[in-house]
Amino acid sequence: MLLAITVHEYAHGRVAYEFGDATAASMGRLSLNPLRHLDPLGTVTLLLFGFGWAKPVPINPYNFRDYRSGMLWVSFAGPLANFALALLSLFLFFLPARLGVHWPLYLQFFNMLVIYNILLGVFNLIPIPPLDGSKILAALAPAGAAALLRRIEPYAPVLLILLIFSGAIGRIIWPVFNAVRVGMQALVLLILGLP
């Protein structure tokens, strides 16, 4: 989970930098060092419950050369980085089978990387603030709809917590998770020439 969170936050900062915002770089957050991204409370919950969060990478969208496009791609960057890491992890998971070897701890490690990265990517695409999906929706939506999203933003974390603890989020995430994993796995097996 720590690897997934670190890659996610780094991707936001890197894409923001490419769009003209050096805020994360100037604060030392444009890094793959997990210690730079740890949030104290998020780390405690990660250790206790297996679910946590990082400090969001600081960005200043007013530094973007193109505000709307910058917000869209910076918001997409985290989930896309998680999906890319999941795909790489799946490749490394199935590679020993292609080579005719079996390493249980190795397989367990890469299987967990696949699970956490797909889950984090899918979860962050939910269009509820403060998740990335809400920023993607705001960047794509007409001005009126984006204004409505900004008005509900102060109440959204409470809504998100209620949805998580009621199990509603799980009913959304797991079918999407399964579809993404099946698709990625089919691609990896095709590349490796495995049945």
Does residue 9 have an active-site annotation?
yes
Stronger pLDDT, 102 or 113, i.e. the higher one: 113
Q: How many domains does the chain have?
A: 1
Tens of pLDDT, residue by residue over 10-69, are: 999 999 999 999 999 999 999 999 888 888 887 787 777 766 778 889 999 999 999 989
**Structural domain boundaries enclosing 18:** 2-192
Going by pLDDT thresholds of 50, 70 and 90, the confidence category of residue 154 is: confident
Stronger pLDDT, 146 or 79, i.e. the higher one: 79
Per-residue model confidence (pLDDT) at position 50: 66
Q: What is the mean pLDDT of residues 74-93?
A: 97
Which range among 65-69, 88-92, 117-121 shows the weakest confidence by mean pLDDT? Answer: 65-69
Per-residue model confidence (pLDDT) at position 188: 96
Going by pLDDT thresholds of 50, 70 and 90, the confidence category of residue 6 is: very high
Q: Cis before residue 130, ω within 30 degrees of 0?
A: yes
Q: State the catalytic residue, choosing from 4, 7, 9, 118.
A: 9
Radius of gyration of the chain (CA): 18
Mean pLDDT over all residues of the chain?
A: 90
